[in-house]
Structure 1
Amino acid sequence: MSDSSDPLVPGNPYADTMPVEAQLVQPKRNNVGCIVAVLGVGFFGLLVCAGLLLPAVQAAREAARRMSCSNNIKQIGLALHNYHVAYNQLPPAYTVDEDGNRLHSWRVAILPFMEQQALHQQIDLSKPWDAPENAAVASIVVPAYACPSKVGDPLMTTYVAVVDPSGMFEGAIPTKFGQVSDGLASTILVVETENENEVHWMSPEDIDLETLLERSENDSHVGGGNVLLGDGAVKFITNSIERGLLEALVTKDGGEDYTGL
């Protein structure tokens, strides 16, 4: 039998006088679980997007650094050409004193042609590059000598010459472009070496032909490095380049006819 005092029973005269909350009580919903689920899905989606975008962002940044590196080497090439115009020869790989001791690098010699005349004037060219008289200059970074992809000390450079009697830099003996019978477009002037072969930008040290041919994977760029050809062009060579071709590109008269890399 129905209880007439129950406000929810039809016909109860007191139903209209009862509060709405009392007339119809709705169960409360727990939304915390839904919010946590939505946030979790959203966070997971962000992680997936970040994982997909990160390699692309890194690749874009490296491409920009590689282009900046290429511009550095082009600036070096222009300076070498302007030096040749001024002196009718390239700078020697290194200068020496009267006893044959090495003093300074070709990178020091071309400073006036790289808008670094003031820096060049501060160097005592009669003393070794690491002498106390040159310590202040040796602590200065020349931005064009620092590859933006290289980590570590910015005073150290990976832009080096290949010092070899058959190449463009024979040592203390200057070379002229007219001595290159292979053609400037087929002869290497400067290479970007591996990080393990980096040198101080003032140091009269570079690499020899055998070191160049034993290329490793420890590059500033993935898979290889830039080279400056005698005509001023900058090309990217991979570590998989044929050893014989690379050796021929270094020589002034190797007889190769190769104008593309």
Structure 2
Amino acid sequence: MSIFVTCECGRRFEMPDEFAGLCVRCPGCGDGVAAPEPELATSPEVLFIGDEPEPTATSLKAVVSLVLGSLFFFACLSGLPAILLGSYALLEIGRSQGRLRGRVMAIAGIVLGMIGCLYTFSIGDAARPLARRAQCLNNLKYIALAVYNYNGDNGHLPAAAITDKDGNPLLSWRVAILPFLEEGDLYAKFHLDEPWDSPHNFALLDSMPSVYACPSDESLKPRTTGYLAVVGPGAAFEPDFKPVRFEDFSDGADKTILVSESPHAVPWTKPEDLPFDGVLPLAVLGSHHGSQNNGFNASFADGSVRFLKCAIRPSVLHALLTRNGGETFSTDSY
């Protein structure tokens, strides 16, 4: 195999390839010339024509990169391979000395792949708050369903608190419905004749079921919940801890609030909720808290969960907090 050497004097001459990389003497002028490496040596045909070689094929990596990049709807699933293959294609095309084409396709694949990855990250950031809000809604639905199933087994809703024989509140209704949240084992651990903060019961605060934690409320302290019942005369939960039956909801179960989001978080086993004496400020119902900042979610006695705006009229809110007030209003009111 031979290599071709070009001297500064313009003389071109052929040398055996074993002289590659060495200094050889030009037979024309006698000056020393560095012989090129074999892979860098050009054939005489190319040198005499003077043009770059015509591409004979398209880089397959460039094609695949463009295809994957175009599928940016699948985001990172195709975006990252598109970027990698496009980069390899550019490297391959550069080393082919003009034999491969597809540089534009490779660059396009890289760009589209980057767009897909950026799209994924932006969608992910937007989706996380939506997922947390959906989880808050599901939590309230599970709680309302547990209350409904408690009624099915006992003939009445749980009282606002588990009390001792003298009527003193010991534990929250949230403890009473544990068996209906598939937390029967946890329920069995409680000493129902002791207050929530007795040494034994207090230790169980750490076992709070996830259904009582709103993922959108980052201000919640550990072992506390912002899902509170409305407790008051005529509400779904009576302040004297007497249980209420569904037959008592003359206004309709779909028009009476059971549990609401609230910024007033409490230890989840503590028998403390939202006291209602005819007036309940919106501030304690989560107008600047929880899964939304322009309203709050509430579960109703029929098991539904609805978002109530802060702009709700006080008279309508009052009607929703009572089970037998006899008020009439349309769902458009809230």
Q: TM-score range by the shorter chain?
A: 0.7 to 0.9
CA gap of 1:173–1:216, structure 2 versus 1, over 3 A, is: same
* Residue 191 of structure 1: aligned partner: 260
* Structure 2 residue aligned with 1:4: none
Matched letter for residue 237 of structure 1: L
Tell me the amino acid that sits aligned with residue 256 of structure 2. Answer: T
1:220 paired with 2:293, answer no
Deviations 1:25-55 (A, max 9, x none): xxxxxxxxxxxxxxxxx9xxx89x96x8766
Matched, 1:176 2:248: no
Unaligned runs of 5+ in 2: 1-7, 11-26, 36-109
Give the conservation status (yes or no) of the 8 Å contact 1:146–1:154: no
Relative contact order (C-alpha < 8 Å, sep 6+): which is higher?
1
Residues 110 and 199 (structure 1), Cα distance of their counterparts in 2 relative to 1, 3 Å cut: same
TM score, norm. by length of structure 1: 0.76
| Cα displacement (A) at 1:239 | 2.3
Root-mean-square deviation (Å):
3.2
- Aligned twin of 1:232: 303
User: Following the alignment from structure 1 to structure 2, what is the Cα–Cα distance between the partners of residues 181 and 84?
Assistant: 17
Bigger CA radius of gyration: 2
CA drift at 1:176: 0.9
Task: Give, in angstroms, the shift of residue 211 of structure 1.
Answer: 4.4
Alignment partner of 2:152 out of 76, 85, 94: 85
Unaligned stretches of 5+ in structure 1? 1-6, 22-41
Aligned to 1:247: 318
Aligned length: 231
Contact 2:136 2:291 in 1 (8 A): no
TM-score, structure 2 length as denominator? 0.61
In structure 1, what is the Cα distance between the partners aligned to 2:224 and 2:122?
A: 28
SS in 1 for 2:229: strand
Specify the SS of the correspondent of 2:207.
coil
Structure 1 moving runs of 4+ over 4 Å = 13-18, 52-56
Amino acid aligned to 2:305: V
Q: Which residue of 2 aligns with 1:25?
A: none
Structure 2 CA distance for partners of 1:127 and 1:239, relative to 1, 3 Å: same
Contact 2:286 2:296 in 1 (8 A): no
Cα distance 1:245–1:58, how it changes in 2: closer, same or farther (>3 A)? Answer: farther
Give the Cα separation in 2 of the matches to 1:212 and 1:159: 16
Higher strand share: 2
| Correspondent of 1:147 among 211, 214, 221 | 214
> Alignment partner of 2:215: what SS?
coil
Q: Distance in 2 between matches of 1:79 and 1:217?
A: 26
